Amino acid sequence: MEDVWSLVLRVGAAWVALVFTLIVLPSALGVSLGISEAYLRVLVKTLEWATIRIEKGVKKPQPQIKTSATNGIIERDETPMEKEIVHPHRVDFEFSDIFYFCRKGFEAIVEDEVTQRFSSEELFSWNLLTRTNVNFHYISLRLTVVWVIGVIVRYCFLLPLRITLAAIGITSMIVGTTIVGQLPNSSMKDYLSEVVHLTCSRILVRALSGTIHYHNKENKPQKGGICVANHTSPIDAIILTNDGCYAMVGQVHGGLMGIIQRATVKACPHVWFERSEIKDRHLVTKRLREHVADKNKLPILIFPEGTCINNTSVMMFKKGSFEIGGTIYPVAIKYDPQFGDAFWNSSKYNIVSYLLRIMTSWAIVCNVWYMPPMVRQEGEDAVQFANRVRSAIARQGGLTELPWDGGLKRAKVKDTFKEEQQKNFSKMLVRNGSVGNLSAGTESD
């Protein structure tokens, strides 16, 4: 029995030493040995071969997958309500007018613009991972064999490797920030804090087999500014921190996340809020303004959508982030779903299940675009400014811009939205004399 344990310890020590030498140390120094690049090239060739096999194995053309809500599984008539209901040859209300609302209701039930953004986006071809389209069926034995080999590689090699790297990265983050946090406030402490954050983030990115392409680095967020980005996954913060340090803004958590938060806030001016404080907008705004006012502090990183969206769209930005003042540095993040689904459906998966899915995917590949800084214009309110920033991010990332609140992931549509549609219809009736005609007809009867 002792010989078995001795063998296990030797194998474990050799594994850790190999991981540390080939991955951790190069990551800490910010260099690459080309292992990730070679792995990605092999992966691309494999997926291209699988796509060709699928195309050859299909006996009949597959329907094209639609990714836009306006061109989805049903044909939508985008005629405005005013033109659909009100016709020039009549002004009276007719019973058939209700068919417009019936059709819109059925369209919303079959496929609406909101709820489909909270599920994994569909792929044009199977990536030998999760089948996100029902049109992908059994094709050939060779493709099945490749899939089985892929499962073995992902679960028996990549998963243990990534768990090891994640453990090293998280432990280094906690220990490093705790030690740095004991130092007195000085430029040296700030420098060491940035080194620890950058180093640990690079290790964690390697734990995801991450390949990130940063564009327009001359527009990187500067100290005293606010970095605003679209939100797809909790790893968005790691993706951005891999290229520069930020002061995070978020809610206080418990468990492992809470330990990390308490350790990092000692070394870096992150802004963590208690749940009761988040409801107090004035307190949150005050603390953020105090942070932005100090031009020596790191830029604040904020995800104003407030929830994760499935990498296809950008939803409504909360206006609070744009009431603070200061310079806004927009950032667009777009993941490549071919290699893995980075979206976190928090209403369906807990954080452990999500991380397991991420760590058993092929890789995390994404593009990050730093955009020119934006400031609030004269006469522009916070909502208009937020919409302008959102539009810029959507255009750069090739994302669909939606006016809906991401809070609909867990909440029902507010009554105000329903009342707005009712008011629009009522105004049309009054404007076109329908109400008056109906009243006159009733009195004559």
Q: How far apart are CA 269 and CA 279, in angstroms?
A: 21
* Per-residue model confidence as pLDDT tens digits over 221-238: 988 889 999 999 888 989
427 lies in a domain?
no
Taking 3-state DSSP, the helix, strand and coil percentages for the chain, each rounded to the nearest 5, stand at 55, 10, 35
pLDDT at 102: 73
Instruction: Indicate the SS3 state at residue 125.
Output: coil
- Strand runs labelled E in 172-298: 210-215, 226-229, 247-251, 271-273
Distance CA 209, CA 161 (A): 10
Count of other CB atoms within 10 angstroms of residue 242: 23
DSSP state of 34: S
Residue 6 lies in a domain: no
Domain assignment present for residue 7? The answer is no
15 falls within a domain: no
Q: Do 285 and 271 touch, CB atoms closer than 8 A?
A: no
Alpha-carbon gap, residue 33 to 26, rounded angstroms = 7
> What does the alpha-carbon distance between residue 412 and residue 418 come to, in Å, rounded to a whole number?
11
Facing residues of 302 across strands?
228
CA 393 to chain centre: 13
C-alpha neighbours within 13 Å on the C-beta side of residue 35: 13
Give 430: exposed, middle or buried? Use CB within 10 Å, 0-12, 13-18, 19+: exposed
Give CA–CA dist 300/248, Å, rounded.
6
In a domain, 146, yes or no: no
Residue 23 carries which DSSP code? Answer: I
- Rg (alpha carbons) of the chain, rounded to whole number: 26
Tell whether 117 is covered by a domain: no
What is the full DSSP assignment across 221-239? --TT-EEEE--S-TTHHHH
- How far apart (Å, rounded) are the C-alpha atoms in residues 228 and 388? 12
- What pTM did the predictor assign? 0.77
Q: Quick one: angle between helices 187-207 and 255-267, nearest 10?
A: 150
Beta bridge partners of 367: 213, 334
Q: pLDDT value at position 244?
A: 86
Is the separation of the CB atoms in 219 and 392 below 8 Å?
no
Burial class (CB in 10 A: 0-12, 13-18, 19+), 260: middle
In-domain check, residue 52: no
DSSP E strands in 327-406: the ranges are 328-335, 364-370, 400-401
Domain carrying residue 292? 155-409
Does 47 fall in a domain? no
| b/e 134-160 (16+ beta carbons within 10 angstroms → b) | eeeeebeeebeebeeebeeebeeebee
Going by C-alpha positions, the residue among 362, 371, 375 that lies closest to residue 397 is 371
Q: Is 345 helix (H, G, I), strand (E, B) or coil?
A: coil
Number of domains in the chain: 1
State the residue for tokens 């007719």.
94
Below-50 pLDDT ranges, the chain: 60, 62-74, 133-134, 434-445
Distance in angstroms (rounded) separating the CA atoms of residues 156 and 91: 71
